[in-house]
Amino acid sequence: MAAVGVGLSLAVLPVGPASAAAGGTHVRCNDVPALKKAITQANADGGRVTLASHCTYTLTAPDNPDDGLPEITGKVTITGRDTTIRRAPNATQDFRVFHVLSGGTLTLNSLTVSGGSLPDFAGGGLWNSGTTNLNRTVIRGNRAETSAGIHNVGGRLHLDRSTVERNTATQNGGGILNGRNQLLDQPGTLIMKGGALLNNRALNDAGGGLENLRSTASLDSVEVKGNTALRGGGINQFAGTLHLNSTTLRENIAVTGAGLRNSFSTATLDRSLITRNTAITAGGGIFNENSSSVALTASKVVRNRPDDCSPAGSVPGCTAPTGTVTPPATQVPPPAENGHVRK
């Protein structure tokens, strides 16, 4: 009975802002100061941060001039469960949520990152110059001049069963911008498996869902749907390399290249489908220009408006590709200084 009494008395003690536990630090719901402290500690010792389930952590002010949370310089893992980290809708200052510096590694598990705002700069939700791993994570409702959802400049970006949706750039890269770090002469690498790029917008330039600039991008079993831009509604590529496997580009809109615009670039499509995209002028499915190449293997480009591929004959097999394809299941120019990409 004495032992039971001691256990009960301990159970009713108040919980501190953050508790260190085996395997990392637990941060109670919406305790933003404790979250910042936990990230700083994880930067130093490579620890893990566990957030409260079904909770929203709201950032009302930046930690530093452009970022809501401390910059990621070490190896940091943050895990939630139906957990959101967001910039407050009524925050008086503009800032993104996460910033991963070169040499830093950030892993996010089962989180939503939303509300970031940088109207005069890049990376509304997240800027990555190191390594970022997103697992079952959603990047939603962020805004910026370029790369509203994610700005990956010279870094390695891995998305596994993650979704980038409803982000808005006033210029290019509505969902993700994958670009070269000019200072280090280092291209970006994007690997996305499962998940989707949905309903992102690049209002005045290119790459509604994805802008791939002088870098390498690979999408496997991804749905690219409902994105809009002036050029490359679903995906815009300039001097890059793109591989699509079992991926669908559907219902994207642009002036040219509604599904994919490919310029000075190489694109390879395996068992993929480009359909029901709408261009105002040409390249409803694919607009392939400037000595670029697109290879279709067991892939289809069909039922796009006003055409499937433009200019005519620029994509071998566009009208009657060899092989068959089963549509995959739905799953949910030159940079300026410091990697801020403009065109």
pLDDT in tens, 234-246: 999 999 999 999 9
What would the mean pLDDT of 9-24 be, rounded to a whole number? 45
Kindly give the pairing relationship between strand 176-179 and strand 210-213: parallel
Burial (CB count within 10 angstroms: exposed 0-12, middle 13-18, buried 19+), residue 211: buried
Residues 48, 74: contact at Cβ < 8 Å? no
User: Backbone phi, then psi, for 180, in 5-degree steps?
Assistant: -85, 140
**How many Å apart are CA 43 and CA 103, to the nearest integer?**
11
Residues 76, 105: contact at Cβ < 8 Å? yes
**How many Å apart are CA 110 and CA 99, to the nearest integer?**
18
What would the mean pLDDT of 20-44 be, rounded to a whole number? 89
On the question of pLDDT at 121 being above 80, the answer is yes
The ranges assigned to domains in the chain are 24-337
The region that residue 214 occupies, defined by phi over 0 for left and psi between -120 and 50 for alpha, beta otherwise, is left
Residue 18's pLDDT is 57
What would the mean pLDDT of 113-128 be, rounded to a whole number? 98
Residue closest to 165 by CA, chosen among 176, 156, 152: 176
Residue 288's pLDDT band (cuts 50, 70, 90)? very high
As a CATH number, domain 24-337 is 2.160.20
**Least confident range of 23-32, 85-94, 285-294:** 23-32
On the question of pLDDT at 171 being above 80, the answer is yes
What would the mean pLDDT of 244-273 be, rounded to a whole number? 98
Higher pLDDT, 90 or 47: 90
Residue 5's pLDDT band (cuts 50, 70, 90)? very low
**pTM of the model as a whole:** 0.89
**How many Å apart are CA 166 and CA 277, to the nearest integer?**
18
**Least confident range of 2-11, 80-89, 149-158, 180-189:** 2-11
pLDDT digit string, tens, across residues 65-111: 999 999 999 999 999 999 999 999 999 999 999 999 999 999 999 99
Residue 313's pLDDT is 94
Residues 258, 281: contact at Cβ < 8 Å? no
Residues 70, 100: contact at Cβ < 8 Å? no
What would the mean pLDDT of 307-333 be, rounded to a whole number? 68
Residue 24's pLDDT band (cuts 50, 70, 90)? confident
Share of the chain above pLDDT 70, in %: 86
Kindly give the pairing relationship between strand 278-282 and strand 273-275: unpaired
Residue 182's pLDDT is 86
Residue 20's pLDDT band (cuts 50, 70, 90)? low
CA dihedral angle for residue 56, residue 60, residue 62, residue 66, rounded to 10 degrees: 80
Residue 341's pLDDT band (cuts 50, 70, 90)? very low
Residue 2's pLDDT band (cuts 50, 70, 90)? very low
